[in-house]
Structure 1
Amino acid sequence: MEDDFPIDHDEKVLLSLGYKQEFKREFSLWTSFCVSFAVLGLLPSFASTLFYGMGYAGTAGMVWGWIIAMIFIQCVALSLAELCSSMPTSGGLYYASAVLAPPGWGPVASWATGWSSWIGQVTGAPSVNYSAAAMILAARSITDPNYVQTKWELFLLTTFLMLVQSCISSMPTRWIAMFNSLGSSFNMVVVIIVIILIPAATTTDPKFAPSRQVWGTIGNGTDFPNGIAILMSFISVMWAMSGFDAPFHLSEECAIADVASPRAIVLTSAIGGIFGWVLQVVVAYTVVDIGAVIASDLGQPWATYLLQVLPQKAALATLALTIIASFSMGQGCMVAASRVTYAYARDGCFPLSRFWRKVNRHTKTPVNAVWFNCTIGVLLCLLIFAGEIAILAIFSVGAIACFVAFTIPISLRVFFVGSRFRRGPWHLGNFGKPIGAAAVAFVVLMVPILCLPPLIGSNLNSVNMNWTCLVYGGPMLIALLWFAIDARKWYKGPRVNVKHAMIGQVIKDLGREV
């Protein structure tokens, strides 16, 4: 491997993309995978989104929905990995959009991709920590039946978790890599433990539901037809799997990034998909009362489910493991989001970008970007005071924002560049275009589906309304209006190297053709 890739290979690749090396390359294939797997956080992701997967379509929606969605999500991951091998930079998605867009469209393509990706990234940590805080308070409710949680306690606990994770994310890269390696290993071990523990320790009689019921009964919890309900339940798998792009954003800190980073993306999606589906099957076969789980007097469906199927001590132990895994996941989200913020600030996408793009001279990490994201995350957590439906909207927003950002450069690669695409050492060969087309079609279908409210007509009100359109569409509309009114005059996209941008024609910059 060292003969094929000299020591300065990564720096040369990065320079060819228009950037100088600023980070230490202390991530490997394994540690990059660890960060992205920690961001996935299968068990806490499943626990956080159980309301959607089980509540919208029942057990059949859980087991079939995960399989169907994962096929297309794997297409997205494969296409993204190919782009990562070609352009291994922290800017990732928005850099690729700028390079692949037709002449004159690079700035707006990268602007839209960057803002959508950032919205998805910045909602990751607060949504995970909100769920972790809810599980902690649910555990207290289990041990103290007289305890009644308040919104202030939930908000302050969520904020505390984010502050601790921000401190960890401000450390030197080697410490972050070590922490995430331990966290990812813990996540993998915990998933396996829970998959084995629940069937073995369940106290229900019978222990398992009939297969015909599990695979064939759609418990439609919406006012839409069964098919739409199953599609709506995809939010659980899409949100759970939306972190597989983390190696792309960490590629400037990874050795042999144009090979290791795309491999980490594919490994994360594949392994996460398999283990996630097995966990879905276990829960689908053992759940007793879906209605009680969704209603959740404890304020957290996963905690209610565990009490249904396990003795109290075993349920509390499993809940504790989930909380620890959630913390690791939240910290991984914080790291990935800070690298995205750094990359976009480096090219002037944010107000005060000069400040947010600074790399701390002691830790060699983007500390300012970490705390900028933490501040935004705490502000998002104020949605807790607007009610459960409002704060839960950040899950839909995270899924939509991330997958829209994934899809823009993939669609440009498939429909506008085609065979002229400059491949990296890791690529899909002749399968690149059909796999990319399937990925784009899936996301185009799912974006409006994920914006649908579960109830319609006279049943729809402000309490059960799906506010995803507002929470995601509002900031995106503001960003696009900003570009149309002002940013288009000065924002020319990332600093693309001319040679790399030669896809079919020579481009002087992203704004005009020479």
Structure 2
Amino acid sequence: MTSFEGQRRESHAPPVTTVFADGDVPDHLAEMTDDEAALAALGYKQEFKREFSAWTTFAVSFAVMGLLPSIATTMWYGLGYAGPAANTWGWLLSVFFILCVAASMAELASSMPTSGGLYYASAVLAGPKYGPFAAWVTGWSNWFVQVTGAPSVDYGCAAMILAAASITNPGYIPTSYQTFLLTVLIMITHACLSSMPTLWIANFNSVGTTVNILCLLITIIIIPTATMSNPKFQPNEFAWGIQNGTDWPDSVAVLMSFLSIIWTMSGYDASFHLSEECTNAAVATPRSIVMTAGSGSVFGFILNTLIAYTIQDVPEVINSDLGQPFAAYLIQILPQNVALAVLSMTIVCAYSMGQGCMIAASRVCFAYARDDCFGIVSRPLKKINRHTLTPVNAVWFNTMIGILLLLLIFGGAAIDAIFSIGAIAAYVAFTTPIFLKIVVVGNRFRRGPWHLGAFSLPSGIAACSFVIVMLPILCFPSVRGENMTLEDMNWTVLVYGAPMVIVVVWFFVDAHKWFKGPKINIEHHMLHQDLPSVEGVEQHIEASKGDRKISDPERGSIGKASSVDLSSSVE
């Protein structure tokens, strides 16, 4: 702990592991808890209640990952592209690199535990010249994945509910209109729950995660014991073999199947966005990220391997009239009542997962609005509800955008784009600050109390290399040549690429004039000099450049956040 420890007011909260950089002392330090002081050193005042613990933060993160519903929802892109190999050695290969991404992200979270997360880190690490643009691209990409998270999960949840109805009533075939309305209803209930006070949300998600884990374990037990298939287990050659469901070579088909794994293993960043609501965030947040990614890797491999060894007919499952591969798979191997029971548990988990996605998205939206990323729309989005102390406006804004995205349901295969966006946008946002840390900052990065030590650089290189390879692959359609139709097109490039082009153009045409990256919203005692007000920070920094060279890359600045931000991450 620092020498300031004695100046802080006593608290019953767990001790916080943090270090203040020289000259980076927030005002009113004696009145702050350890967590509040650590956040103030990054330039923000405490606005949320810190009612998340390491466990409840992990609970939300694990709920957002939602292994059981994620695997069930994305079977089209795993088994459908590469067959059982996607579930076995394909999972092992891709998850190694995904763990590198998660570990490198955890380092950033320990150094800069703010709701802005990856966006804040990109601004800091890119330096004063390119920081605003790096933050702009990372922030918008991250918001795109967050705003598509709940719609994609809730779409999968609705599809499973309607598939269960088809199983019990074989004459019933769900329509696109019914799927849309049911998904919208689920989203609205999630928005209501996400508007509750922080403690209620934390407790709700803690219960949801417990149920999620129990349902996952029960499913893992039921599948090998209750299956009535003959043979009960497929030979190794089948379970680890490729069944190419695309028009591409086997190697490309396997890489394309990583979409399922990447989308499934992308919820661990939720812990980062909840760091301002977590006690001892500089330690608890990175631990939560690693716990989520590590447990997801292990349990995901177990469940996927069981599916690979018990599935009887891959094409039959993928092309089933039920319209949901996981439901078709369960009916293929289990008695109907048992299959419905497992499907019901998966639906419950999917609902919990959608709720976690909604919470994480609202925190990201609030953090970006706080720095005026959304232009004139930012004003209402950065308001905290005075009754619940949660960003209610951000919750409902994301809900409305999500409902509009669900109109893709009426475009047939176009709805697949929200899953591809979730994978691409997530890992663009995840690895941008990691890349900047490696290339721009190097060994000047100021580590937090949790770090990888000697493995930091290899982990970052592996993470960035994996994403560079996967970005174009995730835009490939499953068919090509004569088989290509508008319905079979992969619309990811348009649905993700077009908005990103618009926001980049917006930055260079107008936003660069007023968007300077994360903003200070707390008075600081920076550079051992008094600052009269938040509004005077930028002028003070400009006047101080000659004395302390704040804009030099060795110290850096990002507009109004300046030395507060960079002194906490770059030495």
Q: Which TM bucket (shorter chain)?
A: over 0.9
- One-letter amino acid matched to 2:454: N
Deviations 1:427-470 (A, max 9, x none): 11121111101100000110101001111111111111111111
CA RMSD of aligned residues (A): 1.8
Match of 1:288 among 296, 302, 312: 312
Matched, 1:461 2:494: no
The alignment partner of 2:518 has SS state of coil
The whole-number CA distance in structure 2 between the counterparts of 1:82 and 1:295 is: 43
Find the counterpart in structure 2 of residue 343 from structure 1. 367
Kept in 1, the 8 Å contact 2:87–2:305? The answer is yes
Kept in 1, the 8 Å contact 2:127–2:553? The answer is no
The whole-number CA distance in structure 1 between the counterparts of 2:171 and 2:126 is: 59
Find the counterpart in structure 2 of residue 79 from structure 1. 104
The whole-number CA distance in structure 1 between the counterparts of 2:469 and 2:552 is: 29
Matched, 1:115 2:140: yes
Kept in 1, the 8 Å contact 2:384–2:391? The answer is yes
Kept in 2, the 8 Å contact 1:258–1:426? The answer is yes
The whole-number CA distance in structure 2 between the counterparts of 1:328 and 1:503 is: 46
The whole-number CA distance in structure 2 between the counterparts of 1:168 and 1:2 is: 28
Kept in 1, the 8 Å contact 2:16–2:282? The answer is no
Find the counterpart in structure 2 of residue 157 from structure 1. 182
Deviations 1:48-104 (A, max 9, x none): 001111011111222111101110000000000000000000000010000000331
Shift of 1:396: 0.7
Deviations 1:116-145 (A, max 9, x none): 000001000000000110111111111111
Structure 1 residues 365-404: aligned runs within 5 Å? 365-387=390-412, 389-404=413-428
TM-score normalised over the length of structure 2:
0.87
Find the counterpart in structure 1 of residue 501 from structure 2. 477
The whole-number CA distance in structure 2 between the counterparts of 1:4 and 1:381 is: 42
The whole-number CA distance in structure 1 between the counterparts of 2:15 and 2:476 is: 54
The alignment partner of 2:74 has SS state of helix
Kept in 1, the 8 Å contact 2:187–2:399? The answer is yes
Kept in 2, the 8 Å contact 1:420–1:503? The answer is no
The whole-number CA distance in structure 1 between the counterparts of 2:88 and 2:554 is: 47
Deviations 1:281-335 (A, max 9, x none): 0000000110011112101111100000000001111111110100000000000
Match of 2:435 among 411, 414, 417: 411
Worse-matched range after superposition: 46-55 or 142-151: 142-151
The whole-number CA distance in structure 1 between the counterparts of 2:129 and 2:231 is: 64
Matched, 1:200 2:225: yes
The alignment partner of 2:384 has SS state of coil
The whole-number CA distance in structure 1 between the counterparts of 2:138 and 2:39 is: 21
The whole-number CA distance in structure 2 between the counterparts of 1:266 and 1:109 is: 25
- One-letter amino acid matched to 2:113: P
Find the counterpart in structure 2 of residue 88 from structure 1. 113
Deviations 1:340-381 (A, max 9, x none): 000000000014101001000111100000000000000000
Find the counterpart in structure 2 of residue 253 from structure 1. 277
The 1:374/1:299 distance shift into structure 2, 3 A limit, reads same
The whole-number CA distance in structure 1 between the counterparts of 2:251 and 2:552 is: 41
The whole-number CA distance in structure 1 between the counterparts of 2:212 and 2:562 is: 49
The whole-number CA distance in structure 2 between the counterparts of 1:66 and 1:486 is: 43
Find the counterpart in structure 1 of residue 67 from structure 2. 42
Kept in 2, the 8 Å contact 1:417–1:503? The answer is no
Shift of 1:148: 2.3
Shift of 1:502: 8.1
Find the counterpart in structure 2 of residue 505 from structure 1. 554
Structure 1 residues 234-313: aligned runs within 5 Å? 234-313=258-337
Kept in 2, the 8 Å contact 1:105–1:511? The answer is no
- One-letter amino acid matched to 2:144: I
The 1:65/1:502 distance shift into structure 2, 3 A limit, reads farther
Structure 2 residue ranges without an equivalent (≥5): 1-12, 19-31, 528-549, 564-571
Shift of 1:505: 2.5
Match of 1:191 among 216, 220, 225: 216
Find the counterpart in structure 2 of residue 231 from structure 1. 255
Kept in 2, the 8 Å contact 1:421–1:503? The answer is no
Find the counterpart in structure 1 of residue 168 from structure 2. 143
- One-letter amino acid matched to 2:214: V
The 1:334/1:4 distance shift into structure 2, 3 A limit, reads closer
The alignment partner of 1:336 has SS state of helix
Shift of 1:503: 8.2
Matched, 1:315 2:364: no
Shift of 1:224: 1.3
The alignment partner of 1:208 has SS state of coil
Shift of 1:508: 4.7
The 1:4/1:29 distance shift into structure 2, 3 A limit, reads closer
Shift of 1:403: 0.5
The alignment partner of 1:368 has SS state of helix
Match of 1:212 among 219, 237, 244: 237
- One-letter amino acid matched to 1:328: S
Deviations 1:135-178 (A, max 9, x none): 11111111111212111111110000000000000000000000
- One-letter amino acid matched to 2:152: S
The 1:86/1:3 distance shift into structure 2, 3 A limit, reads closer
The alignment partner of 1:147 has SS state of coil
Match of 1:181 among 185, 206, 209: 206
Kept in 1, the 8 Å contact 2:14–2:280? The answer is no
The 1:384/1:238 distance shift into structure 2, 3 A limit, reads same
Shift of 1:509: 3.7
Structure 1 residue ranges without an equivalent (≥5): none
The whole-number CA distance in structure 1 between the counterparts of 2:340 and 2:128 is: 58
- One-letter amino acid matched to 1:336: A
The whole-number CA distance in structure 2 between the counterparts of 1:377 and 1:296 is: 27
Find the counterpart in structure 2 of residue 167 from structure 1. 192
Shift of 1:5: 5.2
Find the counterpart in structure 1 of residue 448 from structure 2. 424
Shift of 1:3: 5.5
Find the counterpart in structure 1 of residue 540 from structure 2. none
The 1:457/1:4 distance shift into structure 2, 3 A limit, reads closer
